[in-house]
Structure 1
């Protein structure tokens, strides 16, 4: 059935004003000032969106879809992502990663979960590898993974400057990036390497060395947790000014103690420092563990990352920090989609996937969620995951 969303104020995420959006076969067929149903009315579902905001569904580029953690033993392995988690957060596209544990949590597990989430209604991709290098892949080759496995779009998350990493030298990182880049070029994918940055004193120096010493472009890397501490935030500003992308993690344990390290306030700080908004992304680190260690690197406890933190930090960036919605929303829609080369995602425009959110115009609360032209939440109806209870 055709769907018409009529009279909403559209942020694509660029501001378009009041528009009608026609949806056919899971894609956006038209975005116009006025679309009259006429003879198609009996075959068209019409949603009146006057007084609501219409924005792209969120692209969460860093989620532990199979769960993460385990730093405190087997009982501290975090649970898997559910469809409900995505709907509640307004996330319509997910990129799954492995983390510390690339042994008990495998690439077969990761790709299977990605396929399952896509079957349930959202779009799910994944990265090949975990914290450690050499990268543990699905096919035995990172390039083959990216070229021949539909869901795999890059590598990561590779850990640097972290006591849980394999302590890779810059040459090893360069080899991972070169193989990912070749796989991406040959398959039309991004081939981006997601880099987990810990609290080590080297900051982003290894990535900067790769860019200086090789022909690999700075955009081949996607350093995350840039808001871990102030020194890393400053290093991220320098990295972004050189043309790189930097990623804020919205799930944190320290944000209440250090307000600057909240993604929303950190974004304002970067923008005030002259970083182009197109270089900034937000991801949730959903279902990942948020471990705590003492000064001797001994485990003392952990929390669990939440996908809905992504939406909360976007809301705070607009409502608390006073940043423009069209600037803020790019960080979790258009920007990650462009970086990862997810060509059907991230914006509200003709021929793109119909991944849309209807928001309350004042609170930015998510009222309806559409993914690939299907309502996952709308009115009193809500899509259930396969094993989710009523």
Structure 2
């Protein structure tokens, strides 16, 4: 079956103007001003004039098996459902584990990733959780990365947070080295996804590792860098030195009142500060807990993060913050694909995976194809959760 999407305004993520896009066999096979096909072919034609066609969104930080638990077993958050990702325009997800590395395991994470793959989207994961030593499946980070197809990195390892294992520079460097070697041997990203808490040390530990070892800053991908204004400023320095910084799109009013920098604003401000647009990403932290602690470290409130916030942040960056669409799109398509070495993802071009998102004139999610299969059409869901 061929799918011909006709007449959309294409962002690849760079603007290409009005184009036809042809999908077949799970891939994009042609992008051209006008595509004529023989009438004998079985072709589904989608008229997309007045809509934007962009790469399917990549959410590289999602608690696919749920997170939370900081307030006891009743506060564990639920796992990701396929329809949540589809409604948000997401075609690729990276699964992580947070605070709880006891009841949330790497084996469970890999199995869920394979389940999401079977349901239709692409899913990979990082091994480990907030704490060092990293809890692996095979007994070694390098072995996990080389032998387990879904595992592409390590994380999310926590620093500057009262919930972290308070790792030393040497401990973090050893984990980064093992991840880097595992990446080299397997051809995968081999990055360490680093949860940055609200502590005063901020990114200091990452700078220390880079300054005192042969490991580059690009060994790490710090997330939640918009958590506070001071952390955001430290993030700008990190990016000036060539490191990638990630802004979290899920939030609550209390976080913003306490000084969190709204993710769309963080993207605009980083660009205005001269940060290379290729070094910025946004992720949802979907299904993770959004806990509120008082000054004593006591839990006083909690909700769950939403993968839908990724698309809303993209939309707000363009519509409210005035970020150029191609720059905003890079943060959730091409840039994470590059960081994670997902070479078939993040771009609209012949030979790439058929991960295609149609947005209406107001940048709302309209239709979605994942690996060439239509998952949503004209805002109507065509896929369902396995268990309803």
Tell me, yes or no, whether TM beats 0.5: yes
**CA spacing shift, 1:256–1:205, aligned 2, 3 Å:** closer
Report what 2:306 is aligned to: 306
Measured after TM superposition, the shift of residue 38 of structure 1 is: 2.0
SS in 1 for 2:274: coil
Spell out, residue by residue over 1:254-282, the C-alpha distance to the aligned partner (whole angstroms, 9 max, x if none): 45426871000111111111111110100
SS in 1 for 2:23: strand
Task: State the TM-score, normalized to the length of structure 1.
Answer: 0.97
Measured after TM superposition, the shift of residue 342 of structure 1 is: 0.5
SS in 2 for 1:196: strand
Report what 1:330 is aligned to: 330
Report what 1:47 is aligned to: 46
Report what 2:7 is aligned to: 7
Alpha carbons 1:138, 1:145 under 8 Å: kept: yes
Report what 1:135 is aligned to: 134
**Structure 2, unaligned runs of 5 or more:** none
Spell out, residue by residue over 1:229-266, the C-alpha distance to the aligned partner (whole angstroms, 9 max, x if none): 01100000000010000000001124542687100011
Report what 2:72 is aligned to: 73
| CA–CA separation in structure 1 for the residues paired with 2:297 and 2:230 | 20
| CA–CA separation in structure 2 for the residues paired with 1:115 and 1:151 | 8
Alpha carbons 2:223, 2:245 under 8 Å: kept: yes
Spell out, residue by residue over 1:82-128, the C-alpha distance to the aligned partner (whole angstroms, 9 max, x if none): 01110111110000000000001111110110000010011000000
| Residue-pair matches, total | 386
| CA–CA separation in structure 2 for the residues paired with 1:172 and 1:131 | 13
Report what 2:185 is aligned to: 186
Measured after TM superposition, the shift of residue 381 of structure 1 is: 5.0
Cα RMSD between the aligned structures?
A: 1.1
| CA–CA separation in structure 2 for the residues paired with 1:118 and 1:385 | 13
| CA–CA separation in structure 2 for the residues paired with 1:260 and 1:249 | 10
Q: Which residues of 2 match residues 351-370 of structure 1 at below 5 A?
A: 351-361=351-361, 363-370=362-369
| CA–CA separation in structure 1 for the residues paired with 2:200 and 2:169 | 15
Alpha carbons 1:255, 1:262 under 8 Å: kept: no
**Structure 1, unaligned runs of 5 or more:** none
Alpha carbons 2:228, 2:259 under 8 Å: kept: no
Alpha carbons 1:259, 1:265 under 8 Å: kept: no
Measured after TM superposition, the shift of residue 216 of structure 1 is: 1.1
Alpha carbons 1:228, 1:261 under 8 Å: kept: yes
Report what 2:16 is aligned to: 16
Alpha carbons 2:61, 2:96 under 8 Å: kept: yes
Report what 1:203 is aligned to: 202
SS in 1 for 2:375: strand
Moved segments of 4+, more than 3 Å: none
Alpha carbons 1:94, 1:125 under 8 Å: kept: yes
| CA–CA separation in structure 2 for the residues paired with 1:341 and 1:30 | 23
**CA spacing shift, 1:381–1:196, aligned 2, 3 Å:** closer
SS in 2 for 1:275: coil
Report what 1:167 is aligned to: 166
SS in 2 for 1:38: coil
Task: State the TM-score, normalized to the length of structure 2.
Answer: 0.98
